[in-house]
């Protein structure tokens, strides 16, 4: 890649506005606070486990010999909440964002030292990467007091796309090495049976899908999964391709949630970074008559999501609709809404294409 193309890729792939990034900031902070915080009720159990259960993964957690006391977990958890509220309100946004990443690293580092790493790096990285986009440059306490226009940066979105693409590639490459592309093996079916019979993930459509015994269907699913995951790295090269693959990712997670009962909600705040936030901001400004003053837009936007997320959370916790834990009501609802958004955006894009071709 020539220096010129390299620069264009980094600096011209995305042209976000400060207001668009700010809406994403409010959305992402609220989504993490409502749905993706580590489970605080687990800390006391973790602190009580025998020292033998402390099995840190290779890395910095090996420097620690035992689980810390419960008060340590609660302190870091509180600091994480405070820093995320800082991100939400846009108060010292860059520092708050970086601190959010640091506190998530510490908390999850201990949680994963039980002997199993969950793959939540994208969630952890998101605030740190977006800290450099100036997502606190509008609709924020910082912007209110600074009273100086800050330049929104698009390169953090390219970096985020690169991280997503690379991490997806690692998943696809491992599958290739594991034999997913062999014609006589059906890995997707194997994982489905494993989740269904061994792990007891028998909700939603899993029972129906377990009964499917058409080898070609399972073979196609194996190949499609590998192509999608491995191909994501190439998609990071262009903004349009990234958005297309992020849409595929939403569809992919929705289908694995229905069949394998695995909902990978942790990736969704990062996927949401690629929504057309500039257009959303423009739409809100032009269509909602109440929003005349600049300050009332983030308030209306934030309040709407606060109420929506609170209702989802209350329904989830009260278990009035669903009593099962995996996938939970909030995961099904949010991933379902994400799919509807992707379909709506896809229809919009298709209409644009048709109009362009006709003209």
Q: Report residue 250 as tokens.
A: 């939403």
Q: By C-beta, is 207 or 336 nearer to other proteins?
A: 207
Least distance from C-beta 301 to other proteins, angstroms?
Answer: 21
Angstrom distance (rounded) from CA 342 to CA 345: 5
Q: How far apart are CA 130 and CA 314, in angstroms?
A: 29
Q: C-beta of 231: minimal distance to other proteins in Å?
A: 14
Q: Under 8 Å CB-to-CB from 278, ≥6 apart: which residues?
A: 15, 16, 17, 19, 20
Rounded Cα distance between 66 and 62, Å, is 9
Looking at the Cβ atoms of 150 and 291, the one nearer to other proteins is 150
Q: How far is the CB of 112 from other proteins (least distance, A)?
A: 6
* Shortest distance (Å) from residue 51 CB to other proteins: 7
Cα dihedral: 37, 39, 44, 47 (round 10): -70
Residue 182 or 285 with smaller CB distance to other proteins:
182
Burial 103-116 (b: 16+ CB within 10 A, else e): bbbbbbbbbbbeee
C-beta closer to other proteins: residue 182 or 351 = 182
CB atoms within 10 A of CB 158: 21
C-beta of 96: minimal distance to other proteins in Å?
11
Shortest distance, CB of residue 102 to other proteins, whole angstroms?
Answer: 11
Closer by beta carbon to other proteins, 24 or else 43: 43
Cα angle: 198, vertex 199, 204; to 5 degrees: 115
| Least distance CB 342 / other proteins (angstroms) | 20
Q: Which is nearer to other proteins, 223 or 306 (CB)?
A: 223
Cα–Cα distance measured from residue 157 to residue 277, given in angstroms and rounded to the nearest whole number: 12
Q: Residue 327: is the preceding peptide bond cis (ω within 30°)?
A: yes
Nearer to other proteins by C-beta: 118 or 296?
118
């Amino acid at each position: 890649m020539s220096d010129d193309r390299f620069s264009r890729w980094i600096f011209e792939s995305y042209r976000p506005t400060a207001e668009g990034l700010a809406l994403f900031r409010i959305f992402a902070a609220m989504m993490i606070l409502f749905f993706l915080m580590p489970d605080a009720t687990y800390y006391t159990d973790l602190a009580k486990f025998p020292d033998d259960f402390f099995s840190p993964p290779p890395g910095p957690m090996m420097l620690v010999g035992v689980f810390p006391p419960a008060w340590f977990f609660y302190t870091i958890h509180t600091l994480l909440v405070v820093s995320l509220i800082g991100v939400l309100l846009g108060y010292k946004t860059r520092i708050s964002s970086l601190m959010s990443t640091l506190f998530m690293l510490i908390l999850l580092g201990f949680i994963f030292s039980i002997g199993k790493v969950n793959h939540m790096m994208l969630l952890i990285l998101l605030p740190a990467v977006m800290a450099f986009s100036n997502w606190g440059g509008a609709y924020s306490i910082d912007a209110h007091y600074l009273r100086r226009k800050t330049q929104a940066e698009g390169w953090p979105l390219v970096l985020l796309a690169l991280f997503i693409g690379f991490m997806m590639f690692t998943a696809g490459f491992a599958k290739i090495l594991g034999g997913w592309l062999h014609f006589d093996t059906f890995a997707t079916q194997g994982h489905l049976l494993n989740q269904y019979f061994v792990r007891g993930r028998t909700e939603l459509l899993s029972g129906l899908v377990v009964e499917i015994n058409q080898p070609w269907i399972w073979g196609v699913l194996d190949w499609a999964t590998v192509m999608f995951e491995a191909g994501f790295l190439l998609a990071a090269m262009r903004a349009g391709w990234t958005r297309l693959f992020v849409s595929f990712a939403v569809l992919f997670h929705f289908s694995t949630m229905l069949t394998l009962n695995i909902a990978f909600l942790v990736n969704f705040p990062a996927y949401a970074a690629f929504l057309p936030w500039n257009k959303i901001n423009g739409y809100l400004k032009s269509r909602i008559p109440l929003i005349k003053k600049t300050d009332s837009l983030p308030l209306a936007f934030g309040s709407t999501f606060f109420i929506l997320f609170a209702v989802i959370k209350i329904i989830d916790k009260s278990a009035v609709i669903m009593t099962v834990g995996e996938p939970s009501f909030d995961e099904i609802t949010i991933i379902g809404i994400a799919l509807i958004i992707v379909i709506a955006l896809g229809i919009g894009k298709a209409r644009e294409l048709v109009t362009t071709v006709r003209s």
